Every structure is written in structure tokens, then in C-alpha cells.
Amino acid sequence: MDGNGRWANERGEERRRGHAAGVNAVRDIVTECARAKLPWLSLYALSTENYRARPRFEVMWLMVLLKKFLIDERPTLMENDVRLRSTGRIDELPAAVVKELRKTEALTAGNRGMTLVLALNYGGRREIADAARAIAEAAIAGKIDPAVVDEATVGRHLYDPTMPDVDLLVRTAGELRVSNFLLWQISYAEIWSTPICWPDFRKPHLVEALAAYAGRRRKFGGLLPGAGR
Ligand code: FPP
């Protein structure tokens, strides 16, 4: 959800105004995705690097917005049959945020329409390193034979083993990087980038992204029909 800071700068406002405007985009896009019957939507709300390297004031402001979102959006999530989950090192977040997150996750656990994943204090490399550690520990404990460790084994040790691979990775504010996001899960993701900053991202942009995705021909390393001899 890039471009909150730039959106604010362009208006001569403080960066935190951009994050507050970004929450409105989150609300709208979650609702639109649920209505469009997307099965999963993962939002990169806070990277490990954001959490460590941004000024403390900005991080605390993001925590305030997140906590408020988790409380305020409960009725909308229920109404739209959205199940909330999270990924990342959640236990390192402030206790008050973790409490509201767990409450919203529990409340929405039975919803089956769309799964919304918030990536919080998340880093893709760290997720893979954490999985490697868990596998090594299981091997030492005699629960896993190292000879049979394969891609499926790694997948089962990720933060949320039920999360499917990413089909479409949307980048806002013109970014063309993957920024340490779901590195394992985006192996074959189609990437779509827009110059629109996240606070301005709305249904027409989502429709544009989905239309672009629908026009992609996915090969997964294989060949398309008519690829030649
Ligand atoms: C990146 O923009 C955005 C973030 C680091 C935070 C995203 C958070 C929200 C949209 C609000 C809180 C989230 C939820 C789920 C309620 P940036 O600050 O890097 O922008 P810039 O690249 O223009 O400086």
C-alpha cells in the first residue's frame, strides 16, 4: 500500500495524514474485493523494516490507526462475510493491538466469503528463515527426516500454511519492487503496477488491475499452446 507519504507531501500535509487517508482506501478495497468474490486478499500494512526503521512517532500512529480499524471494521467484515487473519511476527506488536487483532480474528473466524490477511511486522526473508529454523528443530527432535524435506515441507512451516500462492501482486505509487513481500508465495505471481498512490486507490483501479490479470497468459514455466516446435 505504497504512496501514503507522497500523497500527503503533495498536499503539503504531514505523512500521518496520508496513512489516515490510506485506511479509507483499505476499507473500500476490502469491501470491493469481498463483493467481487475474491477468495483471498493480503495487504502489506507494515513490514519488519517499516517497524524497525521508521520514526517511532510514525510507527505509533500506524498502530493507533490499525487498532481503530480492527475495532471499527468488525460490523463491515461480518456484513461482507470476511474472515480476518494476520501474518508476521505479531507478538512483537503492542499488546493492545494484538488483543484487538485476536478479537477480530476470533469474531470473523467462521466467515467464508473472503479471507483478508494483514501482513504486520512482516518480512518475507524472515518468514522463510523462521520456517527453516522450525524444520531444523523438528529434524533434531526426530520428527522430520531431512532427506524428505521438500517445497511442501517448507510450505507447511510458513506462518500461515493455508495461504495459497499469490496470483496477482498489485503495486501502487509506481513501485516496481517486491519489497520482501510473501517471497515464497509470489513465485509465479503476475505483477501489476499503477502510479496511483494508495490513498487514491479505488474500485476503478481495482477493476483495471483485475482486467489486466485476466488478460495475462500464465505459463508456470511451461509452454502455451502454439508456442512452436
Ligand atoms: C507505505 O507508504 C505504507 C505504509 C508503511 C503503511 C500502510 C498503512 C496503512 C494504509 C494504514 C493502516 C493499515 C490498516 C490495515 C488499517 P509510505 O509511507 O512508504 O509512502 P511513501 O512511499 O510515499 O513515503
Q: Look at residue 229 in the predicted model and tell me its pLDDT.
A: 87
* Cβ(89) – ligand 1 distance below 6 Å: no
Is position 4 annotated as part of the catalytic site? no
Distance from the alpha carbon of residue 10 to the mean position of ligand 1, in angstroms: 15
Asked whether residue 93 is domain-assigned, the answer is yes
73 residue type, one letter: E
C-alpha cell at 198: 494508495
C-alpha cell at 89: 511476527
Distance from the alpha carbon of residue 19 to the mean position of ligand 1, in angstroms: 5
What number of other Cβ atoms are within 10 A of residue 153's Cβ? Answer: 15
C-alpha cell at 105: 480474528
Longest dimension (CA), the chain: 61
* Cβ(21) – ligand 1 distance below 6 Å: no
Asked whether residue 90 is domain-assigned, the answer is yes
pTM of the model: 0.96
Distance from the alpha carbon of residue 1 to the mean position of ligand 1, in angstroms: 6
Asked whether residue 67 is domain-assigned, the answer is yes
> Domains in the chain: how many in total?
1
Asked whether residue 21 is domain-assigned, the answer is yes
Asked whether residue 149 is domain-assigned, the answer is no
The per-residue pLDDT string of the chain (229 residues; one tens digit each, 9 = 90 and over) reads 999 999 999 999 999 999 999 999 999 999 999 999 999 999 999 999 999 999 999 999 999 999 999 999 999 999 999 999 999 999 999 999 999 999 999 999 999 999 999 999 999 999 999 999 999 999 999 999 999 999 999 999 999 999 999 999 999 999 999 999 999 999 999 999 999 999 999 999 999 999 999 999 988 989 888 889 8
Which DSSP helix (H) or strand (E) runs through 68? helix 56-72
Can you tell me the distance from the alpha carbon of 43 to that of 25, in angstroms, rounded to the nearest whole number?
A: 11
Q: Look at residue 108 in the predicted model and tell me its pLDDT.
A: 98
Q: Are the beta carbons of 225 and 54 closer than 8 angstroms?
A: no
Asked whether residue 133 is domain-assigned, the answer is no
- Nearest atom within ligand 1 for CA of residue 43: 15
Q: Which of 4, 50, 111, 121 is catalytic?
A: 50
Can you tell me the distance from the alpha carbon of 37 to that of 220, in angstroms, rounded to the nearest whole number?
A: 24
Q: Look at residue 225 in the predicted model and tell me its pLDDT.
A: 87
Nearest CA to ligand 1 atom 5: 46
**Each residue's pLDDT tens digit, 172-214:** 999 999 999 999 999 999 999 999 999 999 999 999 999 999 9
- Nearest atom within ligand 1 for CA of residue 25: 10
* Cβ(4) – ligand 1 distance below 6 Å: yes
Is position 121 annotated as part of the catalytic site? no
* Cβ(22) – ligand 1 distance below 6 Å: yes
Q: Look at residue 74 in the predicted model and tell me its pLDDT.
A: 98
Can you tell me the distance from the alpha carbon of 73 to that of 82, in angstroms, rounded to the nearest whole number?
A: 11
Q: Look at residue 174 in the predicted model and tell me its pLDDT.
A: 98
Asked whether residue 131 is domain-assigned, the answer is no
Asked whether residue 153 is domain-assigned, the answer is no
Domain containing 175: what range? 4-122+167-210
Q: Look at residue 17 in the predicted model and tell me its pLDDT.
A: 97
CATH (domain of 39): 3.40.1180.10
* Cβ(84) – ligand 1 distance below 6 Å: no
